[in-house]
Structure 1
Amino acid sequence: MIRPNPSKVAAYSPPSHRRSYTERDVQLYALGLGLGSDPVARDELPFVYEEWGPKVLPTMASVLGSDMLWFADPDLGLGDAAGVHGDELLTLHQPLPPNGTISSRISRVDLYDRGESGHGVMILEEEMHDEATGILLATRRQTDVLIGAGGFGGDAPPPTYRPALPDREPDVVVERTTLTQGALLYRLSGDHYHLHVEDDFAREAGFDGPILHGLATYGLACHAIVAACCGHDPVGLTSFFGRFTAPVYPGESLATDIWRGEDAVSFRVRAVQRGATVIDNGHADLRG
């Protein structure tokens, strides 16, 4: 395996990215999460039906940023390892419009090493602006785990950000069964990674088959909180964090455990049949 090159990564400046999207893309994103699976659920239709919306989930910002094609640059040594999401923090400065053009720039790339028998860790920060107005819409911080790519001589990663969950039963539990074709639909929003489609590739990476995109699970958790805590109004969310702890396989049932606070929410997501926590230490800030 080709190892990451920390000096090359440190010196590299990822290209800026421009992404135009329409109301159709907003609807496709929501459909890829499984919204609308009950076609008469009136609270979900505004996310998938243009006559009543479309409302835009804040987590759509996660698919409007960099296409990560620079990741495959052979000089960086990043593209040889299978990569999975470690965590995602999204800060919403303004509500996402239902159409427009996003201009984004990755302002930070940090590479860390968990040792010869471990993994590489890469942390990115990206700012996303409305191209027409210049307004900062969202900032996202993404942690990627480069499977088996440790041992390149980099620094150890910093302590993981892990907001504590309350020591009591959740206030609300929202359950939803993911679509068996969910990964195939979600990838149409821009994440075409082989891990979510090709069985052989997924098994070589150590999974039991193609897995659902971590950001699809993240989006489902966001919708659960928007529904349970924001009156189905996505504008009510100002930040959203989740740490990915286990894969989700398309077709599994998920339960989002939610603890309400004054202006914030804690949450985790469980794969019901396996009893596995798939997103942990979740935290969302609500608009006051």
Structure 2
Amino acid sequence: MPMNLDAVGASTGPTRIAWTETDALLYALGVGAGQEDALGELAYTTENTAGVRQRVLPTFGAVLAQFRAPADGSPRPELDIGTYDPAQLVHAEEAVTLARPIPAAGTMDVTTTLAGIYDKGSGALVVSDTVGRLPGDPPDSPTLLVRSSLFIRGEGGFGIPGPKQPWGTPDRRPDMALEVGTRADQALLYRLSGDRNPLHTDPKFAARAGFTRPILHGMCTFGVVGRRLLSALGDDDPELFVSISGRFSQPVYPGDKLSIVVWSDGPEARFRVLGPEGWVVLDRGTFVTRPR
């Protein structure tokens, strides 16, 4: 089942998407906002609290880039990356960059380009870039940039190596360690933001993919971690957010408690996320904020 290498460089869009205040609220709940303190994150979880303006978690940009349907109700166009067994697909890496905060509701024109298909030996790494423009964005400054990488097991062997991506941590102990939890029903709630992959809910499908039970969406873990880092490093202020990126290295299961170790150097921090047994589940993390 070969990858379609000829599709590299192809684009879909621009496609006009739309979202509502409810979509932004549902995403925030799906990545854990309000779970530890129901009144602690009302700017993300309510739209009508007196004296509190609704705000949007920056990682919601990944949902807009990949899962929102066109505003006119038509099917969302997809890149033709080839044929493969969907049970062998897992999320590999994600990066979200914002030039400005995402509004609580609105429209956006998104264009997705297939940046590359790379041979990783045991599988293929499929990399796509999405640009999202709000009405009124300057031509050279789109609001949203998302790079998403998917790993398809068993589809390697075609001989196109990927680019080197240097990453490292300072030669010192982490500057902080943060804790964040997930709930047993986390995947059931997160999927309502658009990612209905049965890998995260169907035990038989998960078993076909080699897992003992459904795993948490990688992008849910990404949102949970991004939310915690924004609170710790960005004063819980989306205006200060610039970007977040990371590589998914091990599965997270709904209900897992996560530890985030952070090395902070001014506006740029590097981080790793550890699962309950101490293994790294999200690696090569970066989190960048604007100077205060």
TM-score (norm 1): 0.89
TM-score (norm 2): 0.88
Shift of 1:96: 0.9
Structure 2 residue 45 is matched with structure 1 residue 34: no
Shift of 1:13: 3.4
Q: Which amino acid aligns with 2:161?
A: A
Give the conservation status (yes or no) of the 8 Å contact 1:111–1:154: no
Aligned residues: percent identity?
34
RMSD: 2.1
Distance 2:235 2:261 in 1: 17
Aligned twin of 1:277: 280
**Per-residue Cα deviation, 1:132-182 (whole angstroms, up to 9, x for no partner):** 32451111111110111223x2512222x2421223222222212201111
Aligned twin of 1:6: 5
Shift of 1:102: 1.7
- State how 1:145-156 maps to structure 2 within 5 Å: 145-151=151-157, 153-156=158-161
Aligned twin of 1:47: 44
1:144 to 121, 145, 150: 150
Give the conservation status (yes or no) of the 8 Å contact 1:180–1:250: yes
Distance 1:72 1:59 in 2: 22
Q: Sort the Cα spacing of 1:53 and 1:79 in 2 relative to 1 into closer, same or farther, 3 A.
A: farther
Distance 1:81 1:41 in 2: 39
Q: Sort the Cα spacing of 1:67 and 1:154 in 2 relative to 1 into closer, same or farther, 3 A.
A: farther
SS of equivalent to 1:90 = strand
1:195 to 176, 191, 199: 199
Distance 2:8 2:235 in 1: 44
Q: Sort the Cα spacing of 1:111 and 1:64 in 2 relative to 1 into closer, same or farther, 3 A.
A: same
Q: Sort the Cα spacing of 1:119 and 1:57 in 2 relative to 1 into closer, same or farther, 3 A.
A: same
Aligned twin of 1:86: 92
1:265 to 256, 266, 269: 269
Aligned twin of 1:56: 56
Shift of 1:104: 0.4
Distance 1:53 1:271 in 2: 34
Q: Sort the Cα spacing of 1:201 and 1:81 in 2 relative to 1 into closer, same or farther, 3 A.
A: closer
Shift of 1:39: 4.0
Q: Please list every run of 5 or more consecutive structure 2 residues that lacks an aligned counterpart in the other structure.
A: 69-75
Q: Sort the Cα spacing of 1:175 and 1:64 in 2 relative to 1 into closer, same or farther, 3 A.
A: same
Shift of 1:198: 1.1
Distance 1:102 1:214 in 2: 24
Deviates more, 1:244-253 or 1:60-69: 60-69
Q: Please list every run of 5 or more consecutive structure 1 residues that lacks an aligned counterpart in the other structure.
A: none
Give the conservation status (yes or no) of the 8 Å contact 1:72–1:78: no
- State how 1:231-246 maps to structure 2 within 5 Å: 231-246=235-250
Q: Sort the Cα spacing of 1:72 and 1:210 in 2 relative to 1 into closer, same or farther, 3 A.
A: farther
Q: Sort the Cα spacing of 1:186 and 1:40 in 2 relative to 1 into closer, same or farther, 3 A.
A: closer
**Per-residue Cα deviation, 1:55-111 (whole angstroms, up to 9, x for no partner):** 2111100000134965585x8224655211111121111111111012100133311
Give the conservation status (yes or no) of the 8 Å contact 1:65–1:128: yes
SS of equivalent to 1:28 = helix
Shift of 1:23: 1.3
Distance 1:254 1:162 in 2: 25
- State how 1:204-219 maps to structure 2 within 5 Å: 204-219=208-223
SS of equivalent to 2:236 = coil
Q: Which amino acid aligns with 1:156?
A: P
Structure 2 residue 173 is matched with structure 1 residue 169: yes
- State how 1:173-184 maps to structure 2 within 5 Å: 173-184=177-188
Give the conservation status (yes or no) of the 8 Å contact 2:92–2:247: yes
